[in-house]
Chains A and B, each alone.
Chain A
Amino acid sequence: MKKNRTAMLLAMALGSTALVVGSVLPAANAASGQNAKAVGPAPKIAGTKIGGTLNYTGKSDYAHLDPQRCYSTGCGNFGRLLWRTLTGYQNVNGKLTLVGDLASDVGVASNGSKTWTFKLRPNIKWEDGTTTTCAELEYGIKRSFDGTDATSPLLTGGISYASVFIENKNGYKGPYETPDKTLSGVSCGKSGSVETITFNLTQASGDFNQQTTMGAYAAVKPSKDTKASYDNQVFSNGPYKIETRVYKDKTIVVRNTYWDAKTDPIRVAAPDKIDLLFGQDSVNTNNLYIENTGRAVNGFANGPLAQNTSLIYDSELDALQPIFEKRGFYGPSIVTDWLAINVEKVTDINLRKAIQCAFNKESARATLGGKSLGDYTNSLTPTMLGGYSKYTVCTDNPKGDVAAAKAYMAKVKTNKEITFVYSNATKDSENMALSLQSSLTKAGIKVKIKPIDSTTYYDILEQQGPDAPDLMLYGWAYDWPNASTVYPPLFDSSLVGASLVGENKSRVKDKKLDAMMKAASAESNPTKQAALWAGVDKYITNTIAAVVPFYQGKTLYWNGSNVGGIYFSPMASMDWANLYLKDPKK
């Protein structure tokens, strides 16, 4: 997920994993398991009670609820209450297991992981009582092609994995523009009395059955498809259906009475109703949860982290710790941030290594919010993913190593001035830039800091040409718990175009790296794949020194005293599927 400010809020809005205060510790490689025969009902947490109204209070609404347009972790995790995807993650105490959702298995790969076949689970009902069919799943998947390939797309905003991975020989451009064409890479069939769906892919993908947990692989009933308006009128085959939806204001979902828990190994769906209120002031919301009163008693909300509100000082965070321990959780998120070095402009690897050594992370983090911002890291892989390992990039000292930086600078042939760009949206960004300039200057690196208008900041980051920035702060959150959604979207050579570079902010065009990522993506054995991603990580940070890893963000939620089932999910969010009210009548 690209981490602009909005995406960041959305990512943090229903944010992430690892160290849990008053909750459960997920495993390091949280998504390594899979169960091809999982059936409903989903495992319940001890003490789960059915009924009542659960509240959520937030600042920002989900940009999209249409499954094919949803790309943030927030909408993905809430959206799963309304739509079921081909596969999904069963979450037991923070440990994820890949299971079938619309599918009854987790798929069978063939043809070197270029062909995947899934059996579909029978008797999954829409909110009108009709059964979800393979044709409706195929229709849903085809809608992704409108957002990426249509001449005048209506369904903008979704992820493009489906249109990139699924073979499209006929120039298919979505069900609206090319209703008479077929999408060659998807076909429905039958195995006995069971429906099956088969995908032919453009490239080998060892974790394609994890990709199918995304909203792009949700069914949509064609007769209920209201196109761009579907965002606010999602027709449900999940445990809840929309009762009220006013964008940026409120969303109320109530039970889909046709949903059968026996068909669903993922969602417990304990509350009868969920009431989401958006556009609320962060300070008032924080006070509400500190006091545990009003709608906070039966609810949960984001806590006061630097990413969610304005700066929060370490002392304030410490003062609130007793409340987090009683009612909430606090730990690392799925977001990592780093300094991207433009390798096309900063061509001398010694200069890049000098930047890695000289950067004072401690000083820079203090300007952006201190420890509530996140924990220092030397890896781009979040700690909860397979492939994460603790290793050193120049130094483990967060203050940096000026002597080592100077040693690299001694080898630099031309000490050219580098430009660090930052958004002028907040004073914090300017302070961070000044901190960076100060720390790099101590090692003899010439740094110019350049403020960019916040409205054009992200446009500037990806532009090519002489004005392209040399150094910039950037961040990323994975889409599903696999590093295949971290490295290829960020470092694939094909992203670097003549005028734009997409998410490849370091402008890396490295054939060896491409081959390493391709091999890792194709590997279907999770342990081997994790080892390959670890190699990719170290190649980017240490071998070509294209980035300076900075920190892994934090997630904080607090909940009311009547809410149970609060623990992290490595799906980057509060797991709505397991929440319940301790006293549903309250």
Chain B
Amino acid sequence: MLKYFSRRLISALLLLFFVIFVTFTLFMAVPADPARLSCGKTCSEETRMRIRHAMEIDLPIQEQYLRFVKGIFVGRTYNKESVEPRKCDAPCLGFSFRSDEDVTQTLLRRAPVTFSLALGASIIWLFGGVLLGMASALRRGKFIDKAVQSFALFFSSLQIYLIGWVVSLYLVIKHHILPTPTYVSPFDSVTAWASGMLLPWLTLAFISMAGYARLTRAGMIETLSEDFIRTARSNGLTKTRVQFRHGLRAAITPIVTIFGLDLGGLLGGAVITESTFGLKGIGTLSLEAVYELDLPLIIGTVIFGAFFIIMANLIVDMLYAALDPKVRISK
């Protein structure tokens, strides 16, 4: 298991380095000039050159990349030769071209919003989706099965930006049934945190839950028709034990995979959900960064997202190996 984990970890790190390289070269090589956006009124060509120098984007791209990678591990100092050098501590992702804020600090400030959204929504959709899928599979062809399938079809066809506006209008603005979506740190007030996030959680969860319900149903139906289930029943095991201990465990493997990827992607920023509900997380940050051509922030959010997707993959691989010994042996 340790060997398997080591192999997976090394490949994950290599992949992360590759993402950093591609992201950096891709964005820093764009022909647009960020200095123009930072330059003020009636900006002269000379002033713009000075701003490019201050941003250190007048250096060759390979030099910029080496400094960037060095900054991630040991920090870096911008404009060393100037009278006002700027120190950026490791892990340094640079300073925002627009606000001069430390990108790492900005990401850390925004991350709790995204983590809260991802955590709450994913718990609801995982448990809700699996339970609905199981209920549907165990009552196949009955009313509950049809109801769950209709539910799945309806919600999986919705888009956050549409349903988000509709529920905000009717449940928050018009009828005050739910509080206005907002983020409050759970360390300040757990109740305010949960109530502020409730609507985004439910909206995101219901849309994602639909897919999980269908996946669980399909997996359970297939598993419950397997020979080993019949064997378990014939051995006198209780119905509940057969369904949960044997049926669900076998059916859940693909769900764990999908969940890991979905959660990893969500931790990297739920752009549409966050912007629809006005939550200031990593998703809206990436949107703003793209809009403002704030290259360090764009690179920072992409690396941040990639980190979580790669880590989620790693964890899924580990869970996979734990759930199914054949996986670790075959690797």
Contacts and interface: CB of A to CB of B under 8 A. Distances in A.
Nearest to A500: B45
A5 B37 CA distance: 11
A280 B278 contact: yes
A231 B47 contact: no
Given A71-B41, A458-B36, A502-B43, A249 B280 contact: yes
A227 interface: yes
B84 A154 contact: yes
B284 A459 contact: no
Given A156-B40, A287-B173, A489-B41, 8 more contacts: A4-B37, A148-B44, A248-B280, A279-B278, A284-B173, A455-B32, A455-B293, A456-B31
Contacts of A426: none
Contacts of B51: 153, 156
Interface in A131-159: 147-154, 156-159
B53 interface: yes
B35 to A, nearest CB: 8
Interface residues of B, number: 49
Which of A248, A295, A497 has the most chain B CB atoms closer than 10 A to its own CB? A248
Nearest to A164: B42
Which of B40, B84, B101, B278 has the most chain A CB atoms closer than 10 A to its own CB? B40
Interface in A42-57: none
Interface in B19-45: 30-33, 36-45
Given A489-B41, A502-B44, A227 B275 contact: no
Contacts of A453: 32
Contact of A157 (B38, B84, B109, B275): B38
Contacts of B81: 152
A161 B41 contact: yes
B79 A152 contact: yes
B293 A147 contact: no
A455 B50 CA distance: 21
B320 interface: no
A489 B41 CA distance: 9
A159 B40 contact: yes
Contact of B43 (A160, A248, A456): A160
A311 interface: no
A214 B180 CA distance: 37
Nearest to A501: B45
Contacts of B288: 248, 279
A509 to B, nearest CB: 16
A153 B168 contact: no
B277 interface: yes
Contacts of A161: 41-42
Given A152-B50, A291-B174, A229 B41 contact: no
Interface in A474-517: 479, 489, 495, 497, 499-500, 502-503
Nearest to A146: B84
A293 B284 CA distance: 25
B190 interface: no
B170 to A, nearest CB: 10
B30 A456 contact: yes
Contact of A1 (B41, B79, B84, B99): B41
A150 B49 CA distance: 11
Given A152-B82, A176-B84, A281-B277, A459 B41 contact: no
Contact of A497 (B45, B168, B276, B284): B45
B292 A6 contact: yes
Contacts of B99: 63, 231, 247-248
A287 B168 CA distance: 9
Interface in A280-296: 280-281, 283-284, 287-288, 291, 293-295
A283 B285 CA distance: 19
B177 interface: no
A348 B188 CA distance: 69
Contacts of B168: 284, 287
Contacts of A291: 173-174
Contacts of B108: none
B169 interface: yes
Given A227-B84, A229-B100, A281-B278, A503 B42 contact: yes
Interface in B158-204: 165, 168-169, 172-174, 176, 180
B242 to A, nearest CB: 48
Nearest to A283: B165
B275 A281 contact: yes
Which of B30, B53, B100, B173 has the most chain A CB atoms closer than 10 A to its own CB? B100
10 contacts: A6-B37, A152-B79, A154-B84, A156-B54, A277-B278, A279-B280, A280-B278, A281-B278, A453-B32, A456-B32
B40 A459 contact: no
B291 interface: yes
**Which 4 residue pairs spanning A and B have beta carbons closest together?**
A159-B41, A152-B82, A152-B54, A228-B100
B47 A153 contact: yes
B98 interface: yes
A500 B48 CA distance: 11
Contact of A160 (B44, B53, B278): B44
Contacts of B44: 148, 160, 502
A177 interface: yes
Interface string A63-84: 1000001010000000000000
B274 to A, nearest CB: 9
Which of A1, A247, A479, A489 has the most chain B CB atoms closer than 10 A to its own CB? A247
A147 B40 contact: yes
Interface in A421-471: 453, 455-456, 458-459
A2 interface: yes
A246 B113 CA distance: 14
Interface string B67-88: 0000000000001011110100
A503 B54 CA distance: 23
B36 A148 contact: no
B42 A489 contact: yes
B42 A63 contact: no
A294 B165 contact: no
B26 to A, nearest CB: 12
Contacts of A69: 40
Contact of A154 (B31, B54, B169, B172): B54
A158 B45 contact: no
A508 B287 CA distance: 37
A111 B259 CA distance: 75
Given A160-B41, A502-B43, A455 B30 contact: yes
A156 B39 contact: yes
Interface string B285-328: 10010011100000000000000000000000000000000000
A56 to B, nearest CB: 14
A157 B100 CA distance: 11
A176 B169 CA distance: 51
Contacts of B31: 456, 459
A176 B276 contact: no
Contact of A177 (B42, B83, B109): B83
